[in-house]
Amino acid sequence: MQPGGFGNESSAPAVRASDGKPDLYIQNFFFNRVYRLGNFNTQSYRGLEFELVRRLSRKWQMNGSYTYSKSEGQAESFLSDNGDDPTLTEFESGYLNYDQRHVVKFNATTFIPRDWRIGGTAQWASGLPYSVVQQFDAEDNVGYVQSRKRFGYTNDRGVFISENRNSHRNHAAYMFNAQAKKSFVIGKASAAAFIEVFNILNTDDLRIYTINPDMGIHEADKTGQINTGSRALQTDEIRQFGRRWQIGFQIDF
């Protein structure tokens, strides 16, 4: 592996222009790529939690907590492809995609006349991390095409800027939920009806997992000039559902 040489993504074999990315050099012409499977990655979670609990008294109770945590390691799952590209080794360790610095939670319930119970939850959490990635196919030093994955992006000069994995953060998000429950008796059985509302504020926060800003890969023409061409942004993301309602009935006998 060396920075910057061939690995040209052009289909013309005569062109050996730099693509600005680290290259792959094979050691044996009879082997393309050898995979070694095993539980080699490590994960660590360290957290500190403060909790405040008010037991049921005078018909209401409360629970609140604050958690500070840090999660680091090489991969989030056994099937992670982070180790498939040898040039990715130094960037493989980093924050895990569920690493979250601050989480504040508050839950409360109160009992009111006529067997009604009203409660709610509130949560504020700092943003989860995401990576800027570039996945592409490039030739090694003898012309074999290799599937590559790098953390980073290509700037307007055609130079690849490396980044650490999960070095960006989503924004913080709130979540508020509420429930109203009515208890009553049916014959010899106790029953209850309830209504719940989730995401009271109707937020639609976006959770980003990865961003690939260089779908239109830079190529160098025969004059050596960089042709930026068209770029297509591709993201792996999920948007939170909006406000949701739930009505239910239960009976105990």
Cβ neighbours of 123 (radius 10 Å): 15
Fill in the DSSP letter of residue 2.
Answer: B
**How much is the CA Rg of the chain, to the nearest whole Å?**
27
Q: What are phi and psi of 92, to 5 degrees?
A: -70, -40
Beta bridge partners of 107: 63, 121
Task: Name the residue type at position 111.
Answer: F
Q: What distance in Å separates the CA atoms of residue 235 and residue 34, rounded to the nearest whole number?
A: 30
Q: What distance in Å separates the CA atoms of residue 142 and residue 30, rounded to the nearest whole number?
A: 12
Check residue 77 and give its pLDDT: 72
Model confidence pLDDT, tens digit, residues 176-230: 999 999 999 888 889 999 999 999 999 999 999 988 886 544 443 333 444 444 4
Task: Using alpha carbons, select from 250, 108, 253 the residue that is nearest to residue 182.
Answer: 250
User: For 82-111, what is the mean pLDDT?
Assistant: 83
Residue 134, burial from CB neighbour count under 10 angstroms (0-12, 13-18, 19+): buried
Tell me if residue 92 falls in helix, strand or coil: coil
Do 180 and 115 meet the contact criterion of CB atoms below 8 Å apart?
A: no
Averaged pLDDT score across all residues of the chain: 80
Asked whether the predicted pLDDT for residue 27 surpasses 80, the reply is no
166 CA to centre of own chain: 8
Q: What are phi and psi of 86, to 5 degrees?
A: -60, -25
Beta bridge partners of 123: 105, 175
Model confidence pLDDT, tens digit, residues 50-73: 999 999 999 999 999 999 999 998
Task: Using alpha carbons, select from 64, 171, 194, 183 the residue that is nearest to residue 121.
Answer: 64
Q: What distance in Å separates the CA atoms of residue 64 and residue 104, rounded to the nearest whole number?
A: 8
Task: Using alpha carbons, select from 100, 93, 167 the residue that is nearest to residue 132.
Answer: 167
